[in-house]
Structure 1
Amino acid sequence: MADENKRIPFEEDNYTHNIDRNNERSLDRRGFMKTLVGAAGVFAVSSLPWGAIAAKELMGLSNKEYQRLKIADVKDVAVGDSVEFHYPSEHDSAVLIRLKKDKYVAYQNACTHLMCPVYWVKEQQEMVCPCHHGIFDANTGAPTAGPPRRPLPEVIVEVDSESIYAVRVKRYEA
């Protein structure tokens, strides 16, 4: 009886009976790379429609119609003062600045460096990004100091019947 417990239960002399030796390595390095490249290709092709939709949207931004929005009354904004507002949507923060009696400028106030908020500093007559000390010219929106390299997107404003309106956003070419 002791001899029966020492007996191997299979005909082979080791426990490799469950390995299919002919198909032992069905996914080798070359097969893995082919699978990886194929998956990447499927991903790239499947993302093409979304890229086309995004490109179509971006190409039409300059022609996009925006809703006219009243920002403030002329009598409520003194020369040198600013008014914060949201345009073209509630998620887009902007600032209106009255530079002279008849000169109003408005910009989206997200810094073009890392999207930090930009503030109007009346005493210095400039727009400042406190995150990285970026400074923008209030007349043009162009950066004058710091890391930003692109100007702030300008919000086109109109004065009509003693009220100031935002009418569209001017996009800049890169």
Structure 2
Amino acid sequence: MEQDNKRDNNHSPFNEDNYTHNIRKNNERKLDRRSFMKTLVGAAGVFAVSTLPWGALAAKELTGLKKKPYQPLKIADIRSLRVGDAVEFAYPGEHDSTLLIRLGENEYKAYQNACTHLKCPVFWSKEQSEMVCPCHHGIFDARTGAPTAGPPRRPLPEVLLKEDQGAIYAIGVKRYEA
């Protein structure tokens, strides 16, 4: 009698050969753990393979293997620009603000004037002969574009210039070298 009252935990309380009593046998375990993991790994693989072309383009851009064609752009006539003056222009695109500075009689420098810290605009200070970012007091050397004070750590991107027939032309953007 005592053995009849004992519960037998090794048997199902229902007379079924299913995993659980509420799953229909025909549709049982359509997506079990193994199938789910296979689907997950397959989806991750498809995602990884689909990003390869973009990674290749980024690597090509960062290593400089792809040379960008830049259109020459006339910035200013030399006669209209005195030593110590600066001219703002857009290069290489219409939304890329750039600053040309005449440092000496035959010395010109141009930099994209977005601070390398947080992209605030950089201004030419003729009195101090330096480029200043007012957001966090960043200062850049006008001859090299390198930061001399403040939080910026990278130099400003330099725009390549050409002097031709009494005018200054922008002809490209110098690649950043670490």
Q: CA RMSD in A?
A: 2.6
Amino acid of the structure 1 residue aligned with 2:28: N
| Residues 130-152 of structure 1 deviation map (CA, whole Å, 9 limit, x = unaligned) | 22221110010001111111111
1:23 matched residue in structure 2: 28
> What's the TM-score once normalised by structure 1's chain length?
0.78
Q: 2: CA distance between counterparts of 1:168 and 1:61?
A: 16
| Mapped contact 2:60–2:66 kept (Cα < 8 A) | no
1:82 to 62, 81, 86: 86
Query: 1:153 Cα deviation (Å)?
Result: 1.0
Return the letter of the residue paired with 1:88. P
Q: Aligned in 2, Cα 1:118/1:31: closer, same or farther, shift over 3 Å?
A: farther
Instruction: Give the alignment partner of residue 140 of structure 2, picking from 136, 141, 148.
Output: 136
Which residue does the alignment assign to 2:72? 68
Q: Structure 1's 48 and 114: CA in aligned 2 closer, same or farther, altered over 3 A?
A: same
Distance 1:138 1:105 in 2: 7
The answer (yes or no) to whether the contact 1:120–1:126 under 8 Å persists in 2 is yes
- The number of aligned residues is 159
After superposition, the Cα gap between the structure-2 partners of 1:101 and 1:76, relative to the gap in structure 1 and judged at 3 Å, is same
Distance 2:40 2:138 in 1: 44
Structure 1 pair 62–107 and aligned structure 2 pair: CA distance change class (3 A): farther
Q: Look up the match of 2:154.
A: 150
Task: For residue 132 of structure 1, give the secondary structure of its aligned residue in structure 2.
Answer: coil
- Range with bigger deviation, 52-61 or 78-87: 52-61
Give 5+ residue unaligned stretches, structure 2: 1-13, 15-19
Show the counterpart of 1:3: none
Distance 1:165 1:17 in 2: 82
Distance 1:123 1:161 in 2: 30
Cα deviation, residue 59, structure 1? 3.6
- Identity in percent: 71
Which residue of 1 is the match for residue 7 of structure 2? none
Q: Is the 8 A contact 1:82 1:97 kept in 2?
A: yes
How big is each residue's C-alpha offset from its partner over 1:40-97, in whole Å with a ceiling of 9 and x where there is no partner? 2321111001211232344446743321110011121111111011111212211000
Structure 1 residue identity aligned to 2:71: Q
- Unpaired runs of at least 5, structure 1: 1-11
Is residue 56 of structure 1 aligned with residue 94 of structure 2?
A: no
The separation in 1 between residues aligned to 2:65 and 2:108, in whole angstroms, is 23
1:117, distance to aligned residue in structure 2 (A): 1.4
